[in-house]
Structure 1
Amino acid sequence: MIEVILKKGKEKAVLHKHPWVFSGAVERVIGKPENGDIVRLVDAKGQFMAYGFYNDQSRVALRLLEWDENVAIDEQWFRGKVAEAVESRQKDILVDGVTNTCRLIFSESDYLPGLIVDKYADHLAVQVLTSGIEKNLAVIIDELQKLLNPASIFDKSDASSRTHEGLDTKNIVLAGIHPPERVEVKENGITYNINIAEGQKSGFYCDQRENRKILAAYAKGKKVLDCFSYTGGFTLNSLQNGAASVSSVDSSVLAVETLKENISLNKFDTTKVTAIPSDVNKQLRKFREEGELFDIVILDPPKYAPSRSALDKASRAYKDLNRLGMLLLNKGGLLATFSCSGAMDMETFKQVLAWAALDAGKQVQFIYQFCQPEDHPVRSSFPEGEYLKGLLCRVF
């Protein structure tokens, strides 16, 4: 096996079982590995440290898999990791007639760096983000078929990050039929129609499953504003729990139309919902000009900080957005605000909210912290896996 020698003094993260080795930490490579090959990482003295995927095009030169020298990284190793991840979700999350959609495999957190697998009823959507997983994908797909016998497995590997690994983007069927235009899924007892093959992600984000349910408990009899509503996760949960009205805002016309379909699918009262295809910041300012006020404002924007270098700019965007949201609340109203930027930690997010409150002339109490659900686990040696965070705030 090809050996990669670590620079002296760079051992700490590897010993702590962090799965990334950056290119700057590599002293030299003995041999000529291809991108995605499994290599043997040794320290400056030649002592074994770990096995991992190698890629000389990526800033992350090695993605580590196994720290036990006596464990072979072979077909059975990959099958075992897939089976462990799937079993945990089947046991703890998927409930007949209640929830049949979740994340089955979450990349490094499930010890399969660069692999994401989402289950939508009888269909699976796969994202492959590393060359190492790409090389071993046939085994992984075969194991998923054996375990779940899905109607289809669709490759949604269209993320721009694949280019950093020297990979092209893909949108293809890997197994079974082509997914139908509408796949019906259930989450928290609510039904959604989603399109797996087209558009952003799958048309559905299962990482907010628990947060939708928690927040909906506050919605009974309330006037709710759901911003970045997408296909209606927070809107539908609010309606199910007796919200008096919901205004749902998203810039995507397709998302808004799908939201309307999902309202009808669940036989909710359509007169309680105003679905608005508009830029959120623009619409918030319009509401402000019109003197519109709400009891609950939900802000679930896309990723503003894709990296730490973008954090300052993102912080300003989060602050402005939340300031506008606070100004639209009745006294004592609730602001549910989220960040899916891994670079933004909770303490920084709280500081941003404090700045927003100051600018809005409001006082804010943090009354609950939202996080990602158990099918998006955070590995203790890989805190970078914790990306979704949120705060429920009472605003005065």
Structure 2
Amino acid sequence: MISVLLNKGKEKAVLHQHPWVFSGALQALKTKPQNGELVKVLSQKEEFLAYGYFNDASRVAIRLLSFKEEEIPDENWWRERIKKAVNARTPILNDHNNTCRLIFSESDFLPGLIVDKYGDYLAVQILTTGVEQMKSVILDELQKLTGTKGIFDKGDDKARAHDGLAASEGLLWGELPPDFVQVIENGIKYHINIVEGQKSGFYCDQRENRKILAGFVKGKSVLDCFSYSGGFGLNALANDAKELVAVDSSALAMETLRKNVALNGFDPFKIAPIQNDVNKQLRLFKEENQKFDIVILDPPKYAPSRSALDRAARAYKDLNRLGMQVLESGGLLATFSCSGAVDMETFKQIIAWAALDAGKEVQIIHQFNQPADHPIRSSFPEGEYLKGLLCRVY
């Protein structure tokens, strides 16, 4: 195994078990490893620090796997790590919930691997060269542990490109998922399109937050923005919301939402699906003086990196200002950010700016977080990406 030495003073993060070693931390390589190859990481004094897989195509030159010299990340190591991650999700899966994230990359000590379970099928994202080289082992272990009917590759092309990998999508094992796979979350049925849908087809990271918000909707008019396949909206209908207006720019999202309303036997006259850009639609509602008791804002990632933070902050502020302006006085705003670069304190400040611009007063009555199947590793705070606020707006 090739040894890679770190520059003086660059071992601190590794000693704290952070899983990334950046290229600037490496001494000149005497022998260059192949991309994806397992290497031994040593301090400048040649003391053992960790094992990880190497890739000079990425700014993160080494992704660390094991911090014990006797624990070499061989095939058995990968199988045990996968087994631990999958078994940890057992309490989440039951008759009322058959969808969750089984493996969450660095947060499950498996950098570059994401696996989501959707009923009888798995959606996999293989994002790094090291994981790509272990693909056959990963697929074999996932089959054994889950009894899945099929494993579909939902490769994130941008993330793969960062690691020097070509775009990838398609069936990896078993049978191709049907056009619509049925899953259950919080006792609600969903038809989701794994093959054509966004990301891996369904955002199970909002499961607990949907349940919490559903406790406030009885008899209320609800506006669900960026509704996608109806996660928040269907929970609202299941908990006796008076009416639901769902807005999304995607025709597929609107089609899927209608199917999911029918699948659950909800009253189709209580829902108004609108295909439009959310910001444009909110401005229309404002012009028409249309008001709602509850507004849900769950936009896509506005800040994919810290360099985009200023632009994202302005976008979040404008969106939330518009959302506040279509709320009844005393109504509730459930607002979210899935941008890891936006921490909770920054998000609260953005909401405060939006309130000032909207001429509103805001009380934060609850903070939303990501659920147990999206754990936050103590040595990898970057794994905390989803945050939200439930605000009463006057």
TM-score range, shorter chain: over 0.9
The answer on whether the counterparts of 2:157 and 2:166 sit within 8 Å (CA) in structure 1 is no
Please give the root-mean-square deviation of Cα atoms over the aligned residues, in Å: 0.7
Distance 1:164 1:56 in 2: 11
Among candidates 120, 123, 129, match of residue 121 of structure 2:
123
Q: SS of 2:368's equivalent?
A: strand
TM-score of the two chains, using structure 2 as the length reference: 0.99
| Amino acid across the alignment from 1:167 | L
Partner of 1:59: 59
The answer on whether the counterparts of 1:296 and 1:336 sit within 8 Å (CA) in structure 2 is yes
1:32, distance to aligned residue in structure 2 (A): 2.1
1:121, distance to aligned residue in structure 2 (A): 0.5
Question: For this pair of structures, how many residues does the alignment match?
Answer: 394
Q: SS of 2:50's equivalent?
A: strand
TM-score of the two chains, using structure 1 as the length reference: 0.99
| Amino acid across the alignment from 1:282 | K
Partner of 2:21: 21
The answer on whether the counterparts of 1:183 and 1:196 sit within 8 Å (CA) in structure 2 is yes
Q: SS of 1:242's equivalent?
A: coil
| Amino acid across the alignment from 1:94 | L
| Amino acid across the alignment from 1:18 | H
Q: Percent identity?
A: 66
1:11, distance to aligned residue in structure 2 (A): 1.3
Partner of 1:364: 362
Matches within 5 A, 1:26-45: 26-45=26-45
Partner of 1:95: 94
Partner of 2:72: 72
Partner of 2:302: 304
The answer on whether the counterparts of 1:203 and 1:231 sit within 8 Å (CA) in structure 2 is no
1:241 paired to 2:239: yes
Partner of 2:319: 321
Matches within 5 A, 1:138-217: 138-217=136-215
Matches within 5 A, 1:373-392: 373-392=371-390
1:291, distance to aligned residue in structure 2 (A): 0.5
| Amino acid across the alignment from 1:70 | E
The answer on whether the counterparts of 2:20 and 2:64 sit within 8 Å (CA) in structure 1 is yes
1:31, distance to aligned residue in structure 2 (A): 1.4
1:158, distance to aligned residue in structure 2 (A): 3.6
Q: SS of 1:286's equivalent?
A: helix
Q: SS of 1:226's equivalent?
A: strand
1:159, distance to aligned residue in structure 2 (A): 2.6
Q: SS of 1:29's equivalent?
A: coil
1:165, distance to aligned residue in structure 2 (A): 1.1
Distance 2:333 2:385 in 1: 20
| Amino acid across the alignment from 2:97 | T
Partner of 1:275: 273
1:29, distance to aligned residue in structure 2 (A): 2.1
Distance 1:334 1:190 in 2: 23
More divergent stretch after superposition (352-361 vs 191-200): 191-200
Partner of 1:350: 348
Distance 1:329 1:198 in 2: 34
The unaligned stretches of length 5 or more in structure 1 are none
Distance 2:328 2:73 in 1: 58
The answer on whether the counterparts of 2:195 and 2:201 sit within 8 Å (CA) in structure 1 is no
1:133, distance to aligned residue in structure 2 (A): 0.4
Distance 2:317 2:329 in 1: 20
1:199, distance to aligned residue in structure 2 (A): 2.9
The answer on whether the counterparts of 1:105 and 1:116 sit within 8 Å (CA) in structure 2 is yes
The answer on whether the counterparts of 2:298 and 2:335 sit within 8 Å (CA) in structure 1 is yes
Q: SS of 2:89's equivalent?
A: helix
Q: SS of 1:27's equivalent?
A: coil
What CA deviation, in whole Å up to 9, does each residue of 1:314-349 have, x standing for no partner?
000000000000011111100000000000000000
1:12 paired to 2:12: yes
| Amino acid across the alignment from 2:15 | L
What CA deviation, in whole Å up to 9, does each residue of 1:295-316 have, x standing for no partner?
0000000000000000000000
